[in-house]
Structure 1
Amino acid sequence: MHDLVGAVWRTSSRSNDQGLCVEVADNLAGVHGVVGIRDSKDQAGPVLVVSPSGWTSFVDAIRAGRFVA
C-alpha cells in the first residue's frame, strides 16, 4: 500500500463538468515514486497507483491515438 498523503488531485484541462473523468496526483512522483489515479465521481474509492514512467507511457499512447473509442 502506498502513502498518498499530500496528493494534489487534478483533472485534465480538457475535462467537462459532467464528472466523467479521472483525477491524477502526479505531484507524488518525485517524493514517493508513484502517480495516483482515481475516479472523479468516487473520490473516497480505490486509487490506481502506477510508476511515473508507466503514467508517461500511458499519456503518450493516448496522445498518439493508440486507443480506439
Structure 2
Amino acid sequence: MSQTPDNWRKSSRSSNQTNCVEVGRVNDGAAVRDTKDRSAGYFTTTGQQWAAFIDAVKNQRFD
C-alpha cells in the first residue's frame, strides 16, 4: 500500500546548509528526498531498513 510521505524534517545539525536531505514518514518506514530538488521525488524504506541505516550511522560504519 502506497502512502504520500508527511511530516518532512531536516536534521537540526544541517543549520542553514542547502546540501541536505529531509526525512518524511510513510506507513511503517521512511521517505528521503534532496532539499535542493524536492520535485525530483523521494525514495522509501521499510521500518526495518530505516532502523538498520540509523544504526549504521550511529555506529560510524560509513566513515
**What range is the shorter-chain TM-score in?**
0.7 to 0.9
1:11 aligns with 2:6: no
Q: Is 1:56 matched with 2:55?
A: no
After TM superposition, where is structure 1 displaced by more than 4 Å over at least 4 residues in a row? none
RMSD: 1.7
- Normalised by the length of structure 1, the TM-score is 0.77
Structure 2 unmatched runs, 5+: none
Task: For 2:35 and 2:49, locate their aligned partners in 1 and report how far apart those are by CA, in whole Å.
Answer: 20
Higher strand fraction: Structure 1 or Structure 2? Answer: 2
Percent sequence identity is 35
Partner of 2:20: 21
Q: d(CA) in 2 for partners of 1:4 and 1:34?
A: 12
Structure 1 unaligned segments of length 5 or more: list them: none
Alignment of 1:36-55 (within 5 A): 36-55=31-50
TM-score for both structures, normalised by structure 2: 0.83
Q: In structure 2, give the amino acid aligned to 1:23.
A: E
d(CA) in 2 for partners of 1:2 and 1:34? 11
